[in-house]
Chains A and B, each alone.
Chain A
């Protein structure tokens, strides 16, 4: 079975984000990169499936800059067999990323039976690459998956929907599965795993190699800004019994006229 996992490298969740000079992206110089946390569930599920289906391989694909390849190395150290890196800037839009992933998968020389992704990336939270990629590859996709079973060529997926209910899908491969928290507990990359990862094959491609050009860009970032700072709250002193009536009147007035909530 040819199992693929698409991973994204995102800033560590504790990063203090600042816009870069011309506002086209964030400052990336001092960022510590990690694998997108939802993608860890995807890698884990791929490795569990590999262990269940003899003769399977797990190929992990990433689109992004080459300076730090943390996400791919982590996936290889966790147990993936090989990696494909499509080299690009980090600020591609969802369409370009999906098209690049498709190209990377095709260039690997393997036809995917199943593709795992995270349900979303925690940096831009676009939530559309899995669906775009599935569409481009003409295969079904199921997103926000919290349950996975594979038997006799059939895949049964549980999908979380709003209100706490679950939908159950039965799909035949090839299929794209976008994973959510709760699906599994991602393993740590062990130290022997880290040492072995060094010797695993990593195929490096350019955007041109996978047929993606500047014309594919649908969205251009132009003005990254930090959210405006929250103004400090107002404080009222109603400890003194003498002024309680006037404080209540003032607060009600502000809620009605300024905050417009009553």
Chain B
């Protein structure tokens, strides 16, 4: 067993971390306050190859392993969870094409993302269906020479600026998850209505909206796989994307910890620094051990996938554990800062708001536990 990253992986991580610290972190509070996408920063990240890490070499991408890409996600999230959400949402939308698309589709849809900075949106959740993804109401109907898409999608990241939408719908709702299909819709296709930006608790600089498809005619060659392949594609996408989201929680938790630990050595109470009090020491120790445990779980869940092994259970474990400890670590970071922690003048308040979303999107912490339980019980 070897816990050492390769020299290449260390360099990748260092570059992403340097970028996060120099280009993202100093501007995170500003864009959080304004609720605006920082296009300059995102474009710069794209220029350095930090965006769309899932695109294979054959189609102009970097061809990174899952472990490589989560090292980038972890580092970028240290800089700003909201900016990372905008970056990660691209992977989430492009992964179904990488997983379920044919070469022609990969060339058509993926390669443009390697030529200039573009955004993509993953459209699964609906107003009435979040955790119960198999109950999708959006329909994809075969009309002979094209597919007709109707339905509404909710909480869609990057929706207002996306060049393409990866949309899940059903061709026969009676078939439940076996009816689900995935299709790529380009932004200029008539019938797409983009909602107003949602006002969110955190990740404020990322763009979140509803998207409505009204009689949208989509060319047949945009369907990923066959009708009914959508569920399989979505599940495989999640095996890859859950470690990514988990990695973002580790990055955010590390950032919260670093702030709180540093502050605890600077702030004096009762004649000594906070870090000299046992009550604070226990909190710092708890934070440090949970972050390291989460990191190891996340790395292993990614490594398993790279070895071609099934990682469903560990991907969910990593996602649930990291999200939950991030929430706890960020809350404790605010606690250590005391009154200052509750103020927007200090950085940990934003981290606490950002942490909450990680327990919700990409499968809630509760859904992850259902997945883990199902995997565990199935082996009995």
A56-89: contact bitstring with B at CB < 8 Å (1 yes, 0 no)?
A: 0000000000000000011001000000000000
- A194–B18 alpha-carbon span in the complex (Å): 14
> Is residue A192 within 8 Å, beta carbon to beta carbon, of the partner chain?
yes
Query: For the complex, is B173 an interface residue (Cβ under 8 Å from A)?
Result: no
Q: Which residues of A contact B19 (CB under 8 A)?
A: 188
Known: A188-B48, A190-B47, A192-B49. A73 touches B11 (CB 8 A): yes
Query: B72's closest neighbor in chain A, by CB?
Result: A191
Binary interface encoding of chain B residues 252-283 relative to chain A, with 1 for a CB under 8 A from any of its CBs, else 0? 00000000000000000000000000000000
Q: B140 to chain A: closest CB distance in Å?
A: 36
A189 touches B11 (CB 8 A): yes
Closest residue of chain A to B10 (Cβ to Cβ) is A70
- A194-B47 contact in complex given A188-B18, A188-B19, C-beta closer than 8 Å: no
User: Max chain A CB contacts within 10 Å: which of B7, B18, B19, B47?
Assistant: B7
B105 at the interface (CB under 8 A from A): no
Specify which of B11, B50, B62 is in contact with A77 (CB 8 Å cutoff): B11
User: Closest A-chain residue to B64, C-beta based?
Assistant: A191
Query: Chain A interface mostly helix, strand, loop or mixed?
Result: helix
Closest CB of chain B to A136's CB: distance in Å?
Answer: 33
Q: Is the CB of A198 within 8 A of B8?
A: yes
Determine whether B12 belongs to the interface, using a CB cutoff of 8 Å to chain A: yes
In the bound assembly, the distance between CA atoms of A77 and B7 in angstroms comes to: 13
Residues of chain A in range 64-117 having any CB-CB distance to chain B below 8 Å: 73-74, 77
Type the 1/0 row for B45-56, where 1 means its CB is closer than 8 Å to any CB of A: 001111000000
Residue B15 CB within 8 A of the other chain: yes
B15 x A189 contact (CB < 8 A): yes
Bound CA–CA A189/B18 (angstroms)? 10
Query: Which residues of chain A are within 8 angstroms of B48 by Cβ–Cβ distance?
Result: 188, 190-191
Tell me the bound Cα distance from A5 to B62 in angstroms. 28
Chain B residue, CB-CB nearest to A68: B7
A147 to B96, CA, bound (A): 50
Contacts of B47 in A (CB 8 A): 190
Assembly CA distance A74 to B12 (angstroms):
11
Interface size on A, residues (CB 8 A): 11
Docked CA distance A190–B18 (Å):
12
The answer for the CA separation of A238 and B85 in the assembled complex, in Å, is 54
Shortest distance between the CB of B331 and any CB in chain A (Å): 27
Scoring B residues 1 to 44 as 1 if CB is less than 8 Å from chain A, else 0, what string do you get? 00000011001100100110000000000000000000000000
Residues of B with C-beta under 8 A to A73: 7, 11
In the complex, A77 Cα to B50 Cα: how many Å? 15
Cβ contacts under 8 Å, B7 to chain A? 73
CB contacts (< 8 Å) of A192 on chain B: these are 49, 62
B180 to chain A, nearest CB (A): 34
Q: Which residues of B contact A191 (CB under 8 A)?
A: 12, 15, 48-50, 62
Q: Are A195 and B15 in contact (CB under 8 A)?
A: no
Closest to B11 in A: A194
Contact across chains for A195 and B62 when beta carbons are under 8 A apart:
yes
**Which residues of the other chain, A, contact B50 by a CB distance below 8 angstroms?**
191
Residues of B within 8 A of A194 (CB): 8, 11-12, 15
Q: In the complex, A168 Cα to B8 Cα: how many Å?
A: 42
Contact with B along A185-225 (1 / 0, CB 8 A): 00011111011001000000000000000000000000000
Question: Which chain A residues lie closer than 8 Å to B18 at the CB level?
Answer: 188
Which residues in B have their C-beta under 8 angstroms from that of A195?
8, 62
Contacts of B8 in A (CB 8 A): 194-195, 198
Q: How far is the CB of A237 from chain B (nearest CB, A)?
A: 16
Distance of A122 Cα from B224 Cα, bound (Å): 55
- CA gap between A194 and B19 in the complex, in Å: 14
* Contact, CB under 8 Å: B49 / A190: yes
Q: Which residues of B contact A74 (CB under 8 A)?
A: 11
Task: Please give me the residue from chain A that is nearest to B51 by CB atom.
Answer: A191
Chain B contacts to A: CB under 8 angstroms: 7-8, 11-12, 15, 18-19, 47-50, 62
A-B pairs with beta carbons under 8 Å apart, 25 shown: A73-B7, A73-B11, A77-B11, A188-B15, A188-B18, A188-B19, A188-B48, A189-B11, A189-B15, A190-B15, A190-B47, A190-B48, A190-B49, A191-B12, A191-B15, A191-B49, A191-B50, A191-B62, A192-B62, A194-B8, A194-B11, A194-B12, A194-B15, A195-B8, A195-B62
